[in-house]
Structure 1
Amino acid sequence: MSSGLADNVRKFRRAAGLSQEGLAHESGLGDEANRRYLVELRKALMPPVGLAAPLTDPGEAGDLTVLRREIADSDALYQADRYGSVAKRLPRLLRSTEATVAVAEAEERQQAVIVRAHALLLAGKYLTQVRQYDMAYYALAEGIRLARETGQTLTTATGVVGMCWLLLRQDRFDESEHLAAVTAAEMEPRISQASPGHLAVWGELWLRVASSTVRNNRPQEAREARRMAGTAASALGKQFCVFGQNWGNFGPVTAELKVVEDLSIADDARGVLRRADDGLLSTKAISAYGNPGVNSWGRHRLDVAKAHVTLGSHQDAMSELDQLRRNSGEWLTHQPMARYVMSDLLASRKRTLTQDMREMAAHLGIKH
């Protein structure tokens, strides 16, 4: 969404007295359960604050080992696109980690704060994905602050990767680039001595620099950033995704997916299809290097679907969209690009729509 359109939507929402959840309801977006979860999540993240303390029911302190496992399990649900399950878990986790910090003794307090930071970063990740940007910013900023105050440089940098993603989602390209580049410079590793997590976060930061510059029509800087990300990916040698050590799933396959994404942004449909299933993206290479993140792969297949629509191959585009709906149906409904691709297909279709086209339009909330 362009900044101008975003501003207009924000003004309309405020004039109408609607929260973001309310606007989603009025627009016919999201089901009742998800709206309820978002309301509870907002209460947990942003409780009313009075003279003495937050005016809300406190959570129950928990065992740090149990909380770490629950947060990691929730992240696994996020990676599997089970957003409703994540949203249902997060309010209790946020309240529990806050309560645990409040009662922790001096020796355990730092560990409790780190666990709290991880819960906040997970909340920021989920909220960015479902485009609840005000809550996402609060969660990410607070998670970064706590990680920084406890000296957790890698966790802090991981949160910065998420913050840069949020800024990208808001078309704040200059800010995203600057934040990612400065952090990458501070995090630059000695390749031969760096841990896999350090290499992965460093590479993810360069991906954010590249994504910002390519969208800001600065292809030379984008290519250099992609090269740096490729250096990190090559040093890793395989895909890496460990909760608490990096933001998502990073490695050689992810780095190549983003190169193809640049071709899609440049409207090079033939270039996208030429590289979509070749080289590092071939079945053999993925088997050797490991699977990329589900979301990154889904975005890649949307690039492929877009290329097919551009070249008039409607059925090939539908095959891609149908596969995504089967594998990542909930994720797909949160992707504006999926709606753009389907809308373009419907607009350029001269023959009668097929049943799968009608069903896909309905799934994405597109009127035709």
Structure 2
Amino acid sequence: MTPPAEQPRRVPIRPTRVKPGHVMWCEVPWFGREVGSMTQEIGDNIKRYRRAEGLSQEELAEKAGLSVSTVQKAEQGRGAVRTQTLHTIARGLGVTTSALFVAGPPEPVVGDDATKQSLVAIRAALMPPIGIDGVLVASVPKVGDLSALRRRVLAIHDLYRVDDYDAVARALPHLLREAEASVAQADGESARRKAERVWTMTLLVSGKYLTQVRQYDLAYAALSEAIRRAGGAGDRTIAATGVVGLCWLLLRQDRFGDCYDLAVRTAEAMEPRFSEVDPTRVSLWGELWMRAAAAAVRDNRRTEAAEARRMVARASAGMVKEEGEGTFPSVWGSFGPVTARIKAIEDCLVQGHSRADARAVLRQADRGVLRSEARKRTGNPSGASWGRHLLDVAQAHTLLGAHQDAMETLVVIKADRGEWIKHQPMARRMMADILHNRKRGLTAEMRDMAAHLGVVG
């Protein structure tokens, strides 16, 4: 096939103010983002690939499972194009999703004043001003007991796990400065190595939080520095943990090829010896392959996705329970038979958004290791992973027109992870769909959920 004349890239997305004091981001964890001003260039790429394949618009629509009007709209650049639509078109064309992306200027940023103001302290700690004589530091905090500092870092990580984002945001700036200062103030090589590890842990926690709230420039600064420091200290396990986090960030930015290559290369370097099974090492290895699989399936690289999922299954096969976030920083999140299964189910809605795909999700949602009785033996995945699985279930109900079932699932998520769900664009899209398609009046539950998510009907 003859490729387009230019290799396209991804377009940054602008933040949007939802209500005073809160900024929600218009992109989604992996699909549904609207690509605005670059639609004509994307349309040109679609047309080039379609003609290279000798397809008419009607034939492409049939292969992709889309309406002809959707293909025509995408090619003509009429309106914004969702990444999910691009993925489906790319599958019909037999190319990677990334091949349709384009390079261009970002959309104008609107309404980010509140975000800029609230992140000044974190930004200053991670990105200090640098002059010709080096970093300009106003004052260096005096660091006390390093063990106590490490406990505080882990406590902040626990706050992140329970979605107390306000507490994390308040604590991080000073914690970052203290952890960095502890390295400079360390007395002796042994103390310095310990201080470096605490500083790296602090950067990883920062990267987690900042990726979750979609502050990608700051998250990249934290994660890349953590990987460099851990690698420089010879701590390959902690460096690989940072790579898992960086791959998550790359997925969020639609950098599927970069994510896949980085995850696979690191997984190959960190492959454990199964004759000496270390659950923590296996979990980290499994996390890396999960990132590779997620990137490959989103990029229409089916052979690579199948191989990566096979490696995930291999990693989880010998595990009798979930290895949770309590082992941080040796692993990024959680991994085990339950996590591996729900991530494989997620592929159903990545590969297509048909009613058949939705039914496939619901058939598997409460079987095998996902049954509540089974999870009593294996343990539960991380709260974020389980929340994401429930969002997939709710999305499946929405695709089938079962809006009340979708609402019931969203209510379950809100009850358990009320702050987390506010940062999930997928939940807002589903709620908007429910409001738009609801034939009868809204229930009090629906109005409450819409207000919680910042969705206007």
CA change 1:165–1:92 in 2 (3 A) is: same
Query: After the TM superposition, which residues 322-337 of structure 1 pair with which residues of structure 2 at under 5 Å, given as runs?
Result: 322-337=411-426
Q: How big is each residue's C-alpha offset from its partner over 1:109-149, in whole Å with a ceiling of 9 and x where there is no partner?
A: 11111110110011001000000000000000000010001
Which residue does 1:54 correspond to in 2? 136
CA distance in structure 2 between the partners assigned to 1:52 and 1:136 by the alignment: 22
Say whether residues 1:344 and 2:426 are aligned partners.
no
How far has the Cα of 1:10 moved from its partner?
Answer: 4.1
Query: Unaligned 5+ residue runs, structure 2?
Result: 1-8, 15-36, 38-104
Q: Could you tell me whether the CA contact under 8 Å between 1:97 and 1:119 is conserved in 2?
A: yes
| Bigger mean CA deviation after superposition, 36-45 or 86-95 | 36-45
Determine which of 149, 168, 177 is the counterpart of 1:67.
149
Determine which of 213, 219, 234 is the counterpart of 1:151.
234
Determine which of 121, 128, 140 is the counterpart of 2:211.
128
| Bigger mean CA deviation after superposition, 103-112 or 269-278 | 103-112
Say whether residues 1:229 and 2:236 are aligned partners.
no
Which residue does 2:124 correspond to in 1? 43
CA distance in structure 1 between the partners assigned to 2:140 and 2:312 by the alignment: 43
Q: Could you tell me whether the CA contact under 8 Å between 1:59 and 1:98 is conserved in 2?
A: no
Determine which of 335, 351, 368 is the counterpart of 1:250.
335
Higher helix share: 1
Q: Could you tell me whether the CA contact under 8 Å between 1:37 and 1:88 is conserved in 2?
A: no
CA distance in structure 2 between the partners assigned to 1:272 and 1:279 by the alignment: 13
Which residue does 2:263 correspond to in 1? 180
Higher relative contact order (CA 8 A, sep 6+): 2
Q: Could you tell me whether the CA contact under 8 Å between 1:60 and 1:95 is conserved in 2?
A: no
Q: Could you tell me whether the CA contact under 8 Å between 1:114 and 1:147 is conserved in 2?
A: yes
CA distance in structure 2 between the partners assigned to 1:142 and 1:276 by the alignment: 38
How far has the Cα of 1:292 moved from its partner?
Answer: 0.6
Residue 366 of structure 1 aligns with an amino acid whose one-letter code is V
Which residue does 2:367 correspond to in 1? 278
Q: Could you tell me whether the CA contact under 8 Å between 1:180 and 1:209 is conserved in 2?
A: yes
Which residue does 2:13 correspond to in 1? 6
CA change 1:191–1:212 in 2 (3 A) is: same
CA change 1:24–1:340 in 2 (3 A) is: farther
CA change 1:72–1:233 in 2 (3 A) is: same
CA change 1:122–1:196 in 2 (3 A) is: same
Which residue does 1:198 correspond to in 2? 281
Residue 204 of structure 1 aligns with an amino acid whose one-letter code is E
Residue 54 of structure 1 aligns with an amino acid whose one-letter code is L
CA distance in structure 1 between the partners assigned to 2:435 and 2:252 by the alignment: 26
CA distance in structure 1 between the partners assigned to 2:138 and 2:425 by the alignment: 35
Say whether residues 1:260 and 2:345 are aligned partners.
yes
Residue 255 of structure 1 aligns with an amino acid whose one-letter code is A
Say whether residues 1:81 and 2:163 are aligned partners.
yes
Determine which of 154, 165, 182 is the counterpart of 1:100.
182
Tell me the secondary structure at the aligned position of residue 241 of structure 2. helix
TM-score normalised according to structure 2 size: 0.74
Which residue does 1:359 correspond to in 2? 448
Residue 271 of structure 1 aligns with an amino acid whose one-letter code is A
How far has the Cα of 1:219 moved from its partner?
Answer: 2.8
CA distance in structure 1 between the partners assigned to 2:318 and 2:239 by the alignment: 22
Q: How big is each residue's C-alpha offset from its partner over 1:69-110, in whole Å with a ceiling of 9 and x where there is no partner?
A: 111111111111111111111111101011110111223111
Query: Unaligned 5+ residue runs, structure 1?
Result: 17-21
* Cα RMSD, aligned residues only: 1.8
Report sequence identity in percent: 49
| Bigger mean CA deviation after superposition, 217-226 or 173-182 | 217-226
CA change 1:59–1:10 in 2 (3 A) is: farther
Q: Could you tell me whether the CA contact under 8 Å between 1:214 and 1:262 is conserved in 2?
A: yes
CA distance in structure 2 between the partners assigned to 1:140 and 1:47 by the alignment: 16
Tell me the secondary structure at the aligned position of residue 171 of structure 2. helix
How far has the Cα of 1:37 moved from its partner?
Answer: 4.8
| Bigger mean CA deviation after superposition, 190-199 or 254-263 | 190-199
| Bigger mean CA deviation after superposition, 135-144 or 320-329 | 320-329
Residue 383 of structure 2 aligns with an amino acid whose one-letter code is V
Residue 225 of structure 2 aligns with an amino acid whose one-letter code is E
TM-score normalised according to structure 1 size: 0.91
CA change 1:335–1:214 in 2 (3 A) is: same
Q: Could you tell me whether the CA contact under 8 Å between 2:230 and 2:236 is conserved in 1?
A: yes
Which residue does 1:240 correspond to in 2? 323
Q: Could you tell me whether the CA contact under 8 Å between 1:41 and 1:91 is conserved in 2?
A: yes
CA distance in structure 1 between the partners assigned to 2:365 and 2:136 by the alignment: 51
CA distance in structure 1 between the partners assigned to 2:446 and 2:418 by the alignment: 15
Q: Which has the larger Rg?
A: 2
CA distance in structure 2 between the partners assigned to 1:59 and 1:340 by the alignment: 44
